[in-house]
Structure 1
Amino acid sequence: MTSSPALPFELPTEDWGLSPHTGYTRAHWEAAADGLLRAAWRWATPGGALLDLPGVPSRSGVRSDGLEGYARTFLAAAFRVAGAEGKDPQRWLDRYAQGLAVGTRTPGRDDAESWPLILDHHVQGQPMVESASVALGLRLTRPWLWDRLDADVQDRAEEWLRGAVRHTPAPNNWYLFPFTVAGFLESVGRGDAETARVRERALGLLESWYRGQGWYTDGDGNAFDHYNGWALHLYPALDEHLADGAAQPSPVARPSRAAQPSPYGPRLREHLESFSLLFDANGAPIHFGRSLTYRFAASAAVGLGAVTGHTPLAPGTSRRLLNGSLRYFLARGAAGREGLLSLGWHGPHEATLQRYSGPASPYWASKAFVCLLAPADHELWTATETEAPTESRDRVLSLPDAGLLIQTTGADGVARLHNHGSSHVRPHEGESAAAEDPHYSRQAYSTRTGPTAPANERDNHLSVEVSGARSARRRIHLLGAGHGDGWGWAASWHSPVFSSGPPMVPGLRVESVTVARGRYELRVHRVLGVPPNARVLQTGWAVGPDDPALHTAVHPLHGWTAQDTVRAPQGTAYASWTELPRLTAEPAETPAPLYAALTTLTAEPDPTPLRDAVTGVTATATTLEVRWSADGARTRISFEPLEVVHEAG
């Protein structure tokens, strides 16, 4: 065994023959699970019912946080033991069995061990989330844990779990938590009309949230993010996989949908076609959406696809993505000096967090260990590791159903996501600028950069400045997307909103188009209804000294009158402080309606200056055309009606 200097626990010797890109093997995953579990269990209560990890409590309170520590680490232990066919050299299941017995003895009681009750999401909701991990852990380890429990402990556990079945979830992926609880109860012969009802309800909602191309929105609206992989695909597809070998069926007849071909495996396969492009050659997943402190849980869908067979990826490619993601975070201090996963991205990073995060929240990363359900002789572990999809060649892929545009470059392995469809605004909500979420509102995200903090200059943002107040981008309305050979585009519009002064300017509207080609991004905006003496500003990628090889620039093509560089002193998840390029259109009595710029983010050495990337630009009030220097190709963008055309040179 060799010890990594960035880790407080040992990992096996790297195998660069089997895994020429990462050196990691299945044994590394087992060792990582054991190391993370040992660190967490040092903070267990005497009875083992709660794992009170150190840190600032979440808004749900210390007792809920302790349950979170138990439940989320249990999930890692369950994948670890189930994947080893019950072999449990660390005797993890003994600890979780004792904790289950103690925690369910007097639920809701104010003492050192009792689990909190599961109530409606707006009352005391977090335990409902954790109930799904408890139920899934019990289902995975049934022969070695559940079947060995005393009958009264089983009854108490069922009664506690039924709190999830009987109470109201949050209006998003939370409906899959009672679904998962009910799936476990049915698998052990404790199903009834109540469990059947919540399962049918969840699957019905899932159908309404499916948008196509393997992507779900997380609840009503258009919120597309990592919850696709670690929740919306994981729970139904894993449920089906486990049901193939389930013991006792539910005594309640299944609805007619069960007799039809299941869509969940094929949808997972289709999701991985695009999602696999959102991992950097260095292993990092795309830095986009909420709950990013779950880190390598982003690879859960990749592992599940390999385990179930519902994947377009070769086994060596799947392992490349899995290994790369795990190694990326462990090598950058995600586990900290004590072996505990911290709240953050690399190490601790407060700006990455949501208010619901607590000390044990990062342990949803346990979902990545689903890959251990593939036994040691599975081709996922025996095939030679191959390149990640982001390596070796450039790719551009549009997702018209979600309004996303993926751009990767083989020369540096960077993945970028241009957002023209995902916004964290529910249908019934207003568009308050105060509620702006940097992890959805920016025009673009990558695997090497994070969004700047709300108090700093916004990166990758088109803002209108009125009376000193700069606008935010909240609800995003998709206009279209498409791609061709080596290029792609996506377009949207939004109504700028302001945090001071009037919240909106009547008639003010921003229409935006992004065209991706190679390492270049052509960003074109039509800004309508701009009041006199207002400024328009465009920023680029935020990079800092922490990655000196990373280069970014913005080059004005049309409409802009000045450019400079500004600092974001609070930095990002990747850098302690950053700088970002900025373009400005100074106030005019009659502002120009069309603004265009060329942008890049690259780790290529000595990249060609942006000013040399295009040879000509022509524009009217509604149309812009550029000619590309490399091959003479032309890209034309029209706004009335919207049309994006790319013609070879």
Structure 2
Amino acid sequence: MERRDFIRMAPLAGIAGMVAPGAAVAAAAQTGDHTNVQAAVAQTDREYHVQLLQRIANPVVENMAKGTLKKNMPKEKGPGYGLALEKVTYLEAFGRCISGLAPWLALPDDATAEGKQRKKVREQVLQGIVNAVNPASPDYLNFRTEGQPLVDAAYLCQTFMRAPEALWKPLDNTTKKNIVTELKELRRIRPAYNNWLLFAGMVEAFLLSIHEEYEPLRTMVATQKMKEWYAGDGFYSDGPQFSLDYYNGYVIHPMLTDMLRVLADNNQGSKADYEQAMKRMQRFSELQERMIAPDGTYPAVGRSMTYRTAAFQPLVQLALMHQLPEGIVPAQVRCAMTAVMKRIFEMEGTFDKQGWLQLGICGHQPEVADVYTSTGSLYICTNGFLALGLPAEDPFWSEAPAEWTAQKVWSGKPIKKDYHVTY
């Protein structure tokens, strides 16, 4: 079956969030064994996620490996776009895209069809990284001018922190040296007084993790300000003024916990700070899971809604870490996220005819794009696929499908009562 045909399978049926039964499900059904049917359906979910992630990422990864990203990537931009497009959109696309791919690429090689695909993508990503920091490459990316590269260099650093053995250690010494040089050049940028403090902190945390000289002031300021901006019940304010949007998902929870973990591991930060941040991310994720409606939709509120599945990054990152909140089983997250993906990525217009993402939430809706959003910005959506870093036999993938909270609520079934937390 062609990849695109696989992703456009039949609408939701049965337990919402499952793809239509494929050959494995049909074969299991013929045996009359309900357990085998459920296991086959769960495996189909994984296949769906893998194929969809590849569909999203391949245009970026393949072109970057060939040195043709700048030549071939569309440059759609939001109304009133205010950045220097050619100087920022390519690093946005590559850095954001591979940060979501990293956990999947970190899995060991195997002889399965997925394993062979994964190895190919890993090799392309590694070559793309080489090209990104090679001044002789047509796809040499800009770290040296504008402020936006600080943002997307942080996602590049998050890539290496998520998959050091797969995506950092194999790089040649010249490439590693080039990366470090480019990252240190970013210190010229004064971060905005909001989530940007975490971008500066992430760059320095990565440098610390590879035993390079780092600037502790940047990690200290990011840590302290996020403590001050904690609004309660799992939510941080993005700067002094609270706004209701998904920046806790796009940036704050994942990057804060990743940064604090590196600091604690290197005796440059408090383990208690990391543990508190994890508890807050768990509470936020508990609320996120409840926000996914029975049909896979979720509230379209706030800035940067074109980032799509990246909104649920904390939820899937906790699944990857086996740290989901109490009362949420992995299978319900898998099924909920599959439903979300189907709602978004099967809508006509989400991809253009060449397979690139287009501006929008569900389909092509350029009017909702922000003044800083271009084609490259959209590839942060891969961060909704972090659970693919779990092997196929993990309960997240192998357990029978499970209803998520909103499905239970609106079908009259028992659910866990919700109540705010104070940590």
TM-score, normalization by structure 1: 0.53
Which residue is equivalent to 1:297?
310
In structure 1, the partner of 2:210 is: 188
- From the superposition, tell whether residues 273 and 325 of structure 1 become closer, same or farther in structure 2 (CA, over 3 Å): same
Residue 223 of structure 1: aligned partner: 243
Secondary structure at 1:18's aligned position in 2? Answer: helix
Q: 1:325 to 1:242 in 2, by over 3 A?
A: farther
Distance 1:173 1:3, change over 3 A: same
Residue 339 of structure 1, CA deviation = 2.6
Match of 1:114 in 2: 140
CA distance in 1, matches of 2:105, 2:2: 23
Q: Is the 8 A contact 1:332 1:346 kept in 2?
A: yes
Counterpart in the other structure of 1:368:
384
Aligned twin of 1:210? 230
Residues in 1 aligned to 2:232 and 2:55: alpha-carbon distance in whole angstroms: 39
CA contact (8 A) 1:180 1:239 kept: yes
> Is the partner of 1:98 in helix, strand or coil?
helix
2:364 is the counterpart of 1:338: no
Query: Kindly tell me: are residues 259 and 3 of structure 1, through their superposed partners in 2, closer, same or farther at Cα, counting changes over 3 Å?
Result: closer
Q: 1:263 to 1:329 in 2, by over 3 A?
A: same
CA shift for structure 1 position 163: 3.0
Give the counterpart of 1:268 among 251, 276, 281.
Answer: 281
In structure 2, distance between residues paired with 1:52 and 1:189: 37
Question: Aligned equivalents of 1:19 and 1:327: distance in 2?
Answer: 20
Give 1:222-621 correspondences, 5 Å limit: 222-239=242-259, 250=266, 253-255=267-269, 257-258=270-271, 262-308=275-321, 309-312=323-326, 313-333=328-348, 334-393=350-409, 409-410=410-411
Residues 53 and 274 of structure 1: is their aligned pair in 2 closer, same or farther, counting only changes over 3 Å?
same
- Listed one character per residue, the Cα deviations across residues 570-603 of structure 1 (whole Å, up to 9, x for unaligned) are xxxxxxxxxxxxxxxxxxxxxxxxxxxxxxxxxx
Aligned counterparts of 2:406 and 2:132: Cα–Cα separation in 1 = 46
Is the Cα contact below 8 Å between 2:245 and 2:303 reproduced in 1?
Answer: yes
**When you count helix as a share of all residues, which structure comes out higher?**
2
The one-letter amino acid of 2:396's match is: L
> 2:254·2:314 contact (CA, 8 Å) conserved in 1?
yes
Distance 1:81 1:20, change over 3 A: closer
- Cα offset, 1:349, TM superposition: 0.6
Of structures 1 and 2, the one scoring higher in RCO (CA 8 A, sep 6+) is: 2
Name which of 102, 111, 122 aligns with 1:93: 122
Structure 1: 5+ residue runs without aligned partners? Answer: 394-408, 412-484, 487-649
One-letter identity of the residue aligned with 2:403: E
What amino acid sits opposite 2:49 in the alignment?
W
8 Å Cα contact 1:374/1:380 also seen in 2: yes
CA RMSD for the aligned pairs?
3.4
Letter in 1 for 2:388: L
**Are the aligned partners of 2:131 and 2:139 in contact in 1 as well (CA < 8 Å)?**
yes
| Identity %, equivalent residues | 20
Larger fraction in strand: 1
Q: Which moved more, 1:31-40 or 1:277-286?
A: 31-40
Q: In terms of Rg, which structure is larger?
A: 1
Offset at 1:20? 10
Task: State the AA in 2 paired with 1:200.
Answer: M
Q: Does 1:63 align with 2:80?
A: no
Q: Which amino acid is 2:382 matched to?
A: S
Amino acid at match of 1:296: T
Give the 3 Å change call, closer, same or farther, for CA 3–85 of structure 1 in structure 2. closer
| Alpha-carbon offset, residue 83 of structure 1 | 4.0
Is the 2:76–2:359 contact (alpha carbons within 8 Å) kept by the matching residues of 1?
Answer: no
